[in-house]
Amino acid sequence: MDINEIARLAGVSRATVSRYLNNGYVSQEKRKLISRVIQETGYVPSQSAQQLRTGKTNLVGIIIPKMNSQSVSRMVSGMTEGFVGTDYHTLLSNTNNDPDEEVRCLRVLADRPRVDGVILLASVITDEHIAALRALKFPVVILGQHVDGFSCVYHDDYRATFDVAKVALRHAKHPAFIGVRDDDVSAGAMRHRGFLDACHAAGIEVADQVQMQGEFTIESGYLCCEQIMDIAPETDAVICATDNIAYGAITCLREYGHRVPDDVQVTGIGDSELSRVIVPSVTSAHLFFKTSGLEASKMLIAAMDNGDEIPRQLKMGYEIYGRNSTR
């Protein structure tokens, strides 16, 4: 079954069927005839033939750093929702938090274009990332990092951390911080700076030894908190760069006999579902992860459909939810 057979069965020209398949103008009467024949025969247009004719694959690449992250899953949910009802389908690549693998994925796509566009949810942005991004011949949107010269959707990590830290600092004199690698500019450097500036605004100096750099895991939060309390037992607030880190810190504090929040307050970032139900519930900054994914897909679709090469940048808002882990 091919386009010529569809045209014969519908009693129309091959050109009319071609216009129908490519969303061109076809009269309502002929559109009904072609639609009926396609439904009856189960005809599916050749993807490769369409690609040769239009130069489009109708495929979108989504590169993510990991699967087992609630924030990433929320962003992916928003992205995929944005493509529902369009002609685009998504291909997902998981890089397991390996920046080199992110770059490799971008280079593979650049060498043999298989997609019409890419959304990159990068763990970090290196010089190699920038070079690979510039080599792409199709639109790209970076999600979660602010990168000059490229379209991106990112979070206000600095201000969110500043404001959530302020909640704990109302009743704290000896705060500590558990963050992640600073080369992750958004979750690492920006959140760390937000904490330090909130302390400075409160007139508090923080020793370097109670500013820990860990991983995005509950275990890392536990181990870093354990070190902090050994070094500085007077610590009365632990500001965490993620909710997972906060869960680990709370578990550590409780196991060592510290009451949360009476003895030590704890805050997180992300406002995951677990933050609302664990005991005590966690004071956290809500970042609009799903909405950011949706906005990234809309930004990419506009670029792919309109050929717009002007970089667009969107900084998302946030909300602070005070709960039982702070006073």
In this prediction, residue 46 carries a pLDDT of 61
**Same domain assignment for residues 149 and 163:** no
Q: Are residues 254 and 306 in the same domain?
A: no
User: In the prediction, which pLDDT does 52 show?
Assistant: 44
Q: Does some domain include residue 73?
A: yes
- Residue 240 in 3-state DSSP? strand
**For residue range 43-56, what is the model confidence (pLDDT) as tens digits?**
776 655 555 455 57
| 119 phi and psi angles, rounded to 5 deg | -110, 120
Say how far apart CA 272 and CA 244 lie, in whole Å. 9
| Most trustworthy range by pLDDT among 25-34, 59-68, 90-99, 254-263 | 254-263
State the Cα–Cα distance between residues 287 and 160, nearest whole angstrom.
8
The whole-number average pLDDT for the span 249-263 is: 97
The boundaries of the domain holding residue 72 are 59-155+289-316
Could you report the per-residue pLDDT of 282-291, keeping only the tens digit for each? 999 999 999 9
Question: pLDDT-derived band of residue 113, with 50, 70 and 90 as boundaries?
Answer: low
Instruction: Answer yes or no: do 98 and 142 share one domain.
Output: yes
Residue 323 located in a structural domain:
no
Q: What is the mean pLDDT of residues 221-229?
A: 98
Same domain, 147 and 186: no
Residue 189: which of 197, 179, 198, 199 has the closest Cα?
Answer: 179
Nearest C-alpha neighbor of 297 from the set 113, 121, 102, 51:
121
pLDDT tens profile 156-199: 999 999 999 999 999 999 999 999 999 999 999 999 999 999 99
Pair (239, 164) in one structural domain: yes
Q: How confident is the model at residue 141 (pLDDT cuts 50, 70, 90)?
A: very high
- pLDDT for 58 beyond 80: yes
Q: What does each C-alpha distance from 287 to 2, 45, 119, 290 come to in angstroms?
A: 49, 41, 19, 9
Predicted pLDDT at 171: 97
Same domain flag for 109 and 201: no
Q: Do 70 and 134 belong to one domain? A: yes
**Rounded mean pLDDT, 25-30:** 88
Residues 6+ apart with CB under 8 A from 182: 188, 189, 192, 213
**CATH number of the domain that residue 142 is part of:** 3.40.50.2300
CA 123 to chain centre: 10
Measure the N-to-C terminal CA separation of the chain; round to a whole number of Å.
70
Q: What is the pLDDT of residue 47?
A: 56
pLDDT per position as a tens digit, 312-322: 999 999 999 99
pLDDT value, residue 61 = 93
Which pairs with CB-CB distance under 8 Å and at least 24 residues apart come from 79-86?
A: 79/119, 79/143, 79/293, 79/294, 79/296, 79/297, 80/293, 80/297, 81/290, 81/293, 81/294, 81/297, 82/293, 82/294, 82/295, 82/296, 82/297, 82/298, 82/301, 83/297, 83/301, 86/301
User: Is 209 found in the same domain as 282?
Assistant: yes
Note whether residue 78 is domain-resident: yes
Q: Is the pLDDT of residue 24 over 90?
A: no
φ, ψ of residue 308 in degrees (nearest 5):
-80, 120
Considering 67-76, 99-108, 194-203, the range whose residues carry the highest mean pLDDT is: 194-203
Q: What is the pLDDT of residues 116-128, one digit of tens each?
A: 999 999 889 999 9
Tokens representing residue 308 in the block:
């717009």
pLDDT surpassing 60 at residue 264:
yes
- Residues 20, 103 share a domain: no
Q: Is the pLDDT of residue 1 over 90?
A: no
Q: How many domains does the chain have?
A: 3
Asked if residue 51 is part of any domain, the answer here is: no
Q: Share the mean pLDDT of the chain.
A: 92
